[in-house]
Amino acid sequence: MKYVDEYRQAGHVEGVLAEIRKVVSRPWVLMEICGGQTHAIVRYGLDQLLPPEIELVHGPGCPVCVTPIRQIDRALAIAARPEVVFTSFGDMLRVPGTSSDLLSVRAAGADVRVVYSPLDALALAQANPDRQVVFFAIGFETTAPANAMCALQASRLGVDNFSLLVSHVRVPPAIDAILTAPENRVQGFLAAGHVSAVMGYWEYPPLAKRYGVPIVVTGFEPVDLAQGILMTVRMLEGGQTGVDNAYGRAVSFDGNRPAQAVIEQVFESCDRDWRGIGAIAGSGWRLRPAFARFDAELRFDVGSIVSKESEVCIAGQILRGLCKPTDCPAFGTACTPESPLGATMVSSEGACAAYYRYRLPTAEAALTGASRHG
């Protein structure tokens, strides 16, 4: 494919890797924020090609993994109602709540449908005026503009049988929380390219300054990732902090201002629980009061549901970059994609699922050994 293949070429990647090998002189711990980046790294085996000094740890940027169990349980309760058509991005169907998942609810008779865009869900509501169509509005800043636009459209068109179950999260407060944690090991960040395409990176300089870390906006193809790593390592080796952009072909400092305006119009900041991590103040978005009539939580009265997490897996430590999937005793044995113990194994963007699908046993052994020193 034109405009993509050139960023996957072995020669181009090797050129950047050679530069990284030249620049690096001691161990560094870098975190890629985004689940899409984690997957690309493991899928292309990029981490195998990096010099051993560089350890990549995987961040909390998998929206499916961090969606709080309470919201999943609410989704299950709403989806099970006979008048509801419950629409969702495909990934969410497998994520377990307290005792079920959307796949099971669908198998038991609920009308659960996968959509690619919230606007498809809105169209479904218009086409089925006798049904209640609900969209599971999850995700980071990447999916927020389309979800916000959907609420705006519903309001404009007066589509009263449509609502959103909102569980949005934001990247900068998560970076802040990771750097605040006393056990933090991360020395530099690869910021999420897609999120930055929407939000720009004007939110990052204060963070970089406060915690003295480099933050480099990074894309998703092997060349992009290698370039982001190179720029981060260069800053670390040079004792520099601050923000830089390795994904200039998609991201500007300001980002997509009209998209940010739509988000601002529809959503307001709120505290949000992150699955496996806990509450992070100001890390979520919810519908503003002006859009309350499109809030599925209010429409279906699901506030009293009690959720309970299991006490088994270490997804929390993985999502905060403290552990690797292979550090978990359950990985690949008790915990597999078909019978996941944790959200990181469930989601196709989750770090555990990426390791399970792409990692060879030999690489696993090498990597487990390498990560023990931390």
Considering only residues 98 to 137 of the shown chain, the ones binding another protein according to CB under 8 A are 98, 100-101, 103-104, 106-108, 114, 116-117, 120
> What string marks each residue from 205 to 234 as x (binds another protein by CB under 8 A) or -?
-----------------x------------
* 250 forms part of the interface with another protein (CB under 8 A): no
Q: Nearer Cβ to another protein, position 188 or 316? A: 316
237: left (phi over 0), alpha (psi -120 to 50) or beta: alpha
Q: Nearer Cβ to another protein, position 143 or 260? A: 143
Q: Nearer Cβ to another protein, position 293 or 358? A: 358
Footprint of another protein on residues 5-24 (CB under 8 A)? 8-10, 13-14
Q: Of the candidates 208, 226, 218, which has an alpha carbon nearest to the alpha carbon of residue 246?
A: 218
β-bridge mates for residue 28, sequence order: 54
* 64 forms part of the interface with another protein (CB under 8 A): yes
Identified binder of another protein from the candidate list 18, 157, 261, 312, rule CB under 8 A:
312
Nearest distance from C-beta of residue 293 to another protein, angstroms: 26
Footprint of another protein on residues 288-307 (CB under 8 A)? none
- Per-residue CA distances from 247 to 139, 221, 231, 367 (Å): 21, 10, 11, 28
Total interface residues for another protein by CB under 8 A:
87
Identified binder of another protein from the candidate list 27, 238, 248, 278, rule CB under 8 A:
278
Window of 46-54, 127-135, 152-160, 231-239 that interacts with another protein by CB under 8 A: 46-54
Q: Which two structure tokens, joined as six digits, stand for 310? A: 């299991």
* 335 forms part of the interface with another protein (CB under 8 A): yes
To the nearest 10 degrees (0 to 180), the angle between helices 204-211 and 171-180 is: 0
Q: In sequence order, what E strands does 158-266 have?
A: 162-169, 188-192, 214-218, 242-245
- Per-residue CA distances from 200 to 171, 217, 258, 322 (Å): 12, 9, 12, 28
Q: Nearer Cβ to another protein, position 289 or 339? A: 339
d(CA 64, CA 77): 18
Number of other CB atoms surrounding residue 318 within 10 Å? 30
